Amino acid sequence: YCETDFDSMELFSRSLSKTLDSMKAKDYANTEKYAREHIDEFIFKIKEELLKL
């Protein structure tokens, strides 16, 4: 997926940054939680874009 498929970088700047911050803090429970949230949001966004076709 590329820039033309997404109209916002919010997904990456918000949810991915939470994952990276928790990794840096060695907070493994929250790292897993935020990674799952990021993946779920990413999949939702892909489905949303595909349904527009």
pLDDT for 31 equals 96
pLDDT for 15 equals 81
Contact between 35 and 19 under an 8 Å Cβ cutoff? The reply is yes
Distance of CA 33 to the CA centre of its chain: 12
Q: What is the pTM of this model?
A: 0.71
> What is the chain's pLDDT, residue by residue, as a tens digit (53 residues)?
455 556 667 767 778 889 999 999 999 999 999 999 989 988 888 888 788 76
Contact between 19 and 34 under an 8 Å Cβ cutoff? The reply is yes
